[in-house]
Amino acid sequence: MTDRPSTPDSKLTLSKRKWAAEGKFLTGRISRPETERLPPGQHLVKNWPVLDLGQQPQISEDSWKLEVRGLVETPLALTWSAFQALEQCSRLSDIHCVTTWSRYDNRWEGVSTRDLLDMVMPKSEANYVMLTSYDGYTTNLPLSDFAVEDAILATAWEGQPLTRDHGGPMRLVVPHLYFWKSAKWLNRIELISADKAGFWEKNGYHMYGDPWREQRYSDD
């Protein structure tokens, strides 16, 4: 699977590339999470905006599969029923999109990323995670960030199954990073030794994506 879809770029994709080139939305202000809840340059919304690369894959529960591979002792290939049989958890977190909206107090249900890592046992040389989605989207993050306590492989939001437009049947949620790191329609998790750029990281976005440091775009 490639790191970008084969379909033509959506208007949003083209716009976001342009924003990265122009440094749009950057305020230059650094907020501190211990004293402020809303990162710099963000505004609150009560709805949940839908953003994607112009396609929303239709994935049936019968065909759904999650692979966990790479630098692990025990690779996994989970069917939907096997994933649902794992210990379930709930999390409450804020989310922050690089396009400047934030939403407070989102209630998630699913499988803790820490519990999944306990099953596969990362090797000592594993330092990063590359995420691949059913639509061909990819994104990267450090293994330590994938394993934070409030990160979740979410199947439900606000007590209802995660809808297709928001990444259902399952998406990653890593709330302390910009939301492009929380891949929708997640299909593969690969543990790797060295960092690699994903789709947006190759298109002008920051390799890490900390909202509190306004790491919206690449330093290059």
Write out the H or E segment, with its range, that includes residue 161.
strand 160-161
- Percent of the chain scoring above 70 in pLDDT: 82
How many Å apart are CA 79 and CA 97, to the nearest integer? Answer: 30
How much is the pLDDT for 175? 98
| pLDDT, average across residues 130-142 | 96
- The mean predicted confidence, pLDDT, of the chain is 88
Of 3.90.420.10, 3.90.230.10, 3.20.20.70, 3.30.450.40, which CATH number belongs to 11-28+38-48+62-213? 3.90.420.10
Q: Is the pLDDT of residue 20 over 60?
A: no
- For the CA atoms of 202, 207, 209, 210, the dihedral, rounded to the nearest 10 degrees, stands at -160
- Lowest-pLDDT range of 17-31, 86-100, 146-160: 17-31
How much is the pLDDT for 50? 81
pLDDT tens-digit readout, 144-163: 999 999 999 999 999 999 99
How many Å apart are CA 209 and CA 202, to the nearest integer? Answer: 13
| Rg, the chain, Cα only | 17
Contact 66/125 with Cβ under 8 angstroms?
no
| pLDDT, average across residues 15-39 | 61
Domain spans of the chain? 11-28+38-48+62-213
How much is the pLDDT for 1? 36
How much is the pLDDT for 41? 96
Q: Is the pLDDT of residue 32 over 60?
A: no
pLDDT tens-digit readout, 155-186: 999 999 999 999 999 999 999 999 999 999 99
Strand order in the sheet with 76-79: 76-79, 65-70, 186-192, 128-133, 138-142
